[in-house]
Every structure is written in structure tokens, then in C-alpha cells.
Structure 1
Amino acid sequence: MKLLNKIASAANTLLMLAAAGAGVLMLAFGAYVLYDIRYTNQNAYISQDLLQYRPKVAAEEEGTETFDELRKINPDVVGWLELFDTHINYPLVQGRDDLEYLNKDIYGDSTLSGSIYLASENERDFSDRYNLIYGHHMDNGAMFGDIRNFLDKEYFDSHQEGLLQTENGTYLIKVFACAYADAYDNVIYNVSKDADAKFPELKKYLSEHAVQHRDIPQELSDGMLIGLSTCTDVVTNGRIVLFVSAGPLSSEDAEKYMERSSDDVPMEDIHRLPLGYFTDSDHWALLNLLCVAETFMILLPITAIRKKYRQISYSKKLAKKLEEKGCYDSHENYENNDTEERRCSEKNEEICKQLRRFTDKMHIGMILECVLLIVSIVVFLMTEDLTKKMTLSDKWTGLMIVIAAVSLLIDHLTFCYKGKTPTKEKISTRQKNEKVYS
């Protein structure tokens, strides 16, 4: 019967551990999914450190831009696009094909938000008369998420201008149409070298399909036509395309528009410098985060927090009872001169001292575990940047493992009672069922 009880108890413990493990895994997976969504959304906005590399108009050479710093980050940079008073304010890249930057940022890192990129069929110097620029639709308005807003007449009428900076000069953008389209539409997504010949067909298409439009340019003259394309979640192959004309600006006018541009940047959505920034961290390590979680679990074990910390109060109460009983037995032993009872009283007194030492060790262990948890969190926040990509480990992983291991060792040394316990005859029935062990 005892064997069956032990087997049942072991099975119950295994089931509890399995359930707790499954719960922790589900919680960790859910936390990761939420983090991934937040990471994607936050990094879809223009970052403060990238914004400082935006090209400036070179006054000494009219119409040219300085792209040297951006090219050091990514040689595929071909320009910078901004629509005033929107979140569209990004460097433009061009890949070998239209899939290269679909899920890759300007730094070359994988991200679901991708980049704003020029169609691979277009010339990288924007010498084509018709250009297509692609960007993901983000629900928070990042990337090309604001293009959907142009379907609203009030928004369309109040957001009409922007800038396109290229190596050939700065162009003033003027919005003239916004339309739904299909991803395989041959009129919009066929980049033709002869844009002037194609323009009448496109004007007819827009007059029939545009949701919002204003005076459509009669001809391209010395400017260019640009389609800003993004997806829509309503239809699988559905697209929203914002059509703009782009005319060249003189160096003086370009500088004036650049001044306006600096005032229109939505600063509330630009990344602030995160913790870990000054360490030049470009990632965060999963093992380091798990070490922080382990250090927290050692301090506050989810399934055994009551069992762990009730030892302090129980040990104090038991020591007090043994001390009171020792005083009473000592008085009786003095009167009866019973040698065996006197030895038993001395034994209980020794157990009482051990329990008090155990209580002191638990207090010290609790303080040390708190300190190690704080150190672990501070080290993680100072060395990792949760706004960047995830890696398995980094140069700080060894230190994080040592902190977690030391915390586990302290827990074993301070919360595990290894002294003697009172005999069954000396404790009450209720105390028999209590355990001092961790």
C-alpha cells in the first residue's frame, strides 16, 4: 500500500511539473509573439539614428545631394522619399529583384516590415519617366501604411506635397490620384521606358478607377510620374497605389522645402535611444533573457513559493517552542535529576540553535537572491537592445549564466535545512505534518 501511495504521489508530482512546464512554454511563446509584433511595428518607423544620415542639399553644386553616409550603410540606397505630414519618410533602396527588400531592412537584417524600394526594372538614377516604389502596409501607419489614408477625400486634399531626393537632384512631389488596383494590373505594374506614350492610357485608367484624384497633369514635361504601391488586407492581390508627379527643384527651393521637412517629422514615432544603445548592441540574446527569467524563478518559484518562504516563519516558531520546552524540561530535570531527559533537553537546545542559524541563512539568501536578480536585470538592460534582432547568445551570455548559477547555489545552501530535527515525541501532531526542508 505504501508503494502504491509513493507511485501515486510521484505521478502526481510529474503531472504537476508537466502542467507547469507546458504553462511556462505557452507563456514564453505568447510573450515572444507579442514581442515580435511590437518589434516589427516599432522598427517599421524611421529611426532617430538613421534620420541623421538623410542627405542634405549641397549648395556649392546646384541640384545634387550627398548620399555618401547612407551608401556606407547600404550601397543599394538610391534616394530618400518623404510625403509631408505623414509617416512616409524613408531612404529608398533598389535590389536585384523586387523580392530582395520585401523582408529586409536597409541594414540588411531580416524584418517583416521590409524596406521602401524602387522597382528593379527602373533605372536607379530615376532617369525613367515612370517609376514604381513599393512599401508594406503597416496598421500603425509606418512604411506605406499612411497611403490608405489618401482614400479619404479630406486627407487627400490636405496632404499634397513631398520631396524625393536623388543623386540627380531634389524633386517636389505633388499628389494627384489614389486608386485601388490588382497586383497583376498591366497598366500600373508595367514599367515602360516610354512613359509619355503610356501616359494617356494611365490617365484614362485613373479617371475610371481612382477613388480620389485632382487635376491630372496633361503631360510629364521635364518631371516624372511615380506610383507608390502598397498592399491592402481586404483582397489577396489587392493594392492601393498613390500617384504623384515629381518636378525638379533648384538648390535654393530645395533648401526651403528641407526646412519645412525638418519641422514636419512626427517625432513621437521616431525611436528614442533604448537602453543598451551606448554599448553599440545591435541585437539581444535569447539565452541572456532566459538567465534573467531563471534568476527570477529561483527567487520566486511559481509552484513552491509558499513552501520555500514558509520555512522562515515555521523555523522561528519551532525554535521558540523548543526553547520554551527546553526551559521547562531544564527545571524538571533539575528537580528530578534525570540524566536521559537532561540529554534530550540539551539535544533540543542544539536543534533550536540550528533552526535559528537556518533562519538567519534564509534571510541572507533571500537578500543575496534579490541582489543577484537586480544585477541580472541591470546587466541585461545595459547590454541588450530589445528593439533589435534576436540571437541565441552573445559575449555577455557567460556572465548571465554565472549569475543564474550563483543564485541557484545560494538557494541550495541557504534554503535547504541539513541540521537535526526534533524527535516525533517532542513535537505536536500538527508539527509532525510540517516540513522544514525546502
Structure 2
Amino acid sequence: MKRSFRELSRTSLIKRFCVSLMLLSLVNLLFDLGRSEEHVQKQRKVEALYYAEQTSAPLPEGADRNRNAESRKQRTQNQADRRVVSSDTGILVGRNGTRTHSSLGALKKENPDTVAWLSIPGTPIDYPVVQCKDVAFYLNHNFFLEPDAYGCLFVKEQADLQTPGTNFVIYGHNMRDGSMFGSLISYENRHFYENHKLIRLDTGRECREYEVMSVLKTHLFQNREDTFKYYQFYQANTEEEFKNYNQNLKALSLYDTGVTASYGDHFLTLSTCSSYVEDGRLAVVARQISPAPAHGGETGDSASFGTFDE
């Protein structure tokens, strides 16, 4: 039976619609690829500024002074494996005994808002951390102050990374290409955690090492006061406050890492969006292990921050 003119027209419209969707998807894909490549180029420029500052200090008397310089490519690839943090000095120490002084000088010259460099060995996370009065600025501007959907990792204005405090919160976008804090989603898998337990934070004055303690998924509770808001916790002024914080972390953790904490410990929280629910959040909480913080529940001007959070 021959199809009617109306049926043929409907079929033609459906085909055109499908073709239009495919073309639109292709355009979006090409746009994302172009934007991703541009982001990679910007990131390489930032990395060059940071790693160029990690220059070797004079070696102790009797030390090997004949080490050949690595190429920048080798230095970038091997940086995470080659460097360790001295628990006594908080200075980067090369595995051959060469001491490497941490410095954010070049980054600060390019962008005075620079306060730290964050890295997680074995992941794409290897970025500067910034801070400014406008809490929304770095949601859509990059390190070079240019409009950029990738934004930049940042902390609240009041956060003082040089002053002891119970918890610091760093925020970043969960990008589809895995950049910025996009790779934090992998911590939902325990196997990934087992191979990426350490987080490093270079504040310019010292390099801190943290051990991942908890991975949790939650969402914003803007209108409820009886819920745990990890993004508002920054200082445990009493042991009871710390106990409550620690219990909430354990209750929300996706799995038990076996890492324990005590009152007086210092923490670093990495926070990003999660699409599992509306206003979802994923947080990776890590305990500082080097340089070892002095215990006693010190207070400081550290602060957490609601970028997207209140």
C-alpha cells in the first residue's frame, strides 16, 4: 500500500530532525574539543611558570654535584615520583638528596591572587590555587584572568593557608573532559583511591602532604540547620566539635579508608559538583601527615567557602 503524502512528509521531517541533532552534536563536540585544547595550552603555560621555580638549592658538603639536568618534559612526567616532602622542613626533597626549594614567585608575579599549588600524583590535578575578594570571579575566569568556563581552583578570601586551621576547602569545577576537579569523581571507586591516596599542597612556604581519609557524596542543605554541611566546617574549637565533624564524615563516606583522625589534626577538603542528584556535591577529605601539625586544637583564620555553597 502506498504511503500517503502526509506520512511521507512526517518521515521526512523526522529524518531532517535527526540529521539536525547529529549536526548539532558534532558542532558541540568540536567546540568542546577546541575549548579543551585551549585549556591544555593554558595549563602548560602555568605549569612552566611553577616548575621553573623549583630550582635546586646548594647541596650539602660532600653531596653529589654531578647530577645532569632533566629536560622539562622528563621533569613534568616524573615530578610526582621524584619528589618527596621532608617532614622536618616542609621543603621538597629530590630522591637523590638534592633539596628543592618551593616557590610561587613566578606564579604570583603573573597573578598576585596565587596562594598555593595543588597536585595529586597520578591524576590530571596539578593546578594553582587562587583567592580573591570576589567569590564568583574564578568560577568563570582562568589563572590569567581571562573569561574561561574551566575557571580556576580557589579558596575563600578569609582562608589563610599560612595559618594553622582545622580545615581548608578548595573548590573546582567538575569538567566533562576530566580536567580541573573532574577526576575527583574517580574516587567513588575504592580501587582508584588505593592508588591515589596522597595529595600535595605547596603554599610557597612549605609543601604539605595529605592522606585521603574520606570520600563523600552529599548535596546542599541551604534551608536546613540540622544537617552536616562539610563546606561550612573550618575550625574545631573544641574536642566535641571535632568529634561531631569526624562522625559525620564517617557516616557519609562511600567506603572505609581505615585512616583515623584525632583532635588537633589538620585537613584539606577538595569539593566539586556531582550530578547524582540536583545540587549534588562530591568531597575528598584528607588528613595532613607532613609536615606533622602540632596538636592541641589550634585556632586560626582559616575558612571554608561556599562557591556554589552557602
TM-score category of the 2 structures, normalised to the smaller one: 0.5 to 0.7
Q: Secondary structure at the match of 2:243?
A: helix
Partner Cα separation in structure 1 for residue 248 and residue 185 of structure 2: 19
Q: Contact 1:41 / 1:140 at 8 angstroms: preserved in 2?
A: yes
Check whether the contact 1:132–1:229 (CA below 8 A) recurs between aligned residues: yes
Richer in strand (by share): 2
SS in 2 for 1:163: strand
**1:22 corresponding residue in structure 2:** none
1:118 aligns with 2:142: no
Q: CA deviation at 1:97?
A: 4.0
Distance 1:233-1:62 versus aligned 2 partners, 3 A rule? closer
TM-superposition CA deviations, 1:261-311 (whole Å, max 9, x none) = xxxxxxxxxxxxxxxxxxxxxxxxxxxxxxxxxxxxxxxxxxxxxxxxxxx
| 2:120 aligned with 1:83 | yes
- By percentage of residues, which structure has more helix? 1
1:310-337 per-residue CA deviation (whole Å, 9 max, x = no partner) reads xxxxxxxxxxxxxxxxxxxxxxxxxxxx
1:98 partnered with 2:135: yes
Any idea what SS the aligned residue of 1:108 has? coil
Question: Which runs of no fewer than 5 residues in structure 1 stay unpaired?
Answer: 1-25, 251-438
Equivalent-residue separation in structure 1 for 2:263 and 2:106 (angstroms): 32
Is 2:219–2:278's contact at 8 Å kept on the other side of the alignment? no
Shift in Å at residue 39 of structure 1?
A: 3.5
Q: Which amino acid aligns with 2:259?
A: I
Of the two structures, which has the highest relative contact order with CA contacts closer than 8 Å and spacing of 6 or more? 2
Per the alignment, residue 38 of structure 1 pairs with: 33
Separation in 1, partners of 2:152, 2:220:
18
List per-residue Cα deviations over 1:143-173 (Å, max 9, x = no partner).
1111111011111111111311002300112
Identity %: 20
> Aligned partners of 1:124 and 1:74: how far apart in 2?
17
Contact 1:117-1:135 at 8 Å conserved across structures: yes
8 Å contact from structure 1 (residues 44, 143) kept in 2: no
Matched AA of 2:37? Q
Show the 5 A alignment for 1:133-172. Answer: 133-172=170-209
Q: Compared with structure 1, are the counterparts of its residues 58 and 173 closer, same or farther at alpha carbon in structure 2 (3 Å cutoff)?
A: farther
SS in structure 2 at match of 1:93: strand
What's the Cα RMSD here? 2.9
Per the alignment, residue 49 of structure 2 pairs with 53
Q: Which has the larger radius of gyration?
A: 1
| CA distance in 1 between partners of 2:39 and 2:262 (Å) | 35
SS at 1:53 equivalent: helix
| Partner Cα separation in structure 2 for residue 213 and residue 74 of structure 1 | 39
d(CA) in 2 for partners of 1:121, 1:212: 32
Q: Are 1:176 and 1:244, in contact at CA under 8 Å, matched by a contact in 2?
A: yes
Cα deviation for residue 120 of structure 1 reads 3.0
* Cα distance in 2, alignment partners of residues 178 and 132 from structure 1: 14
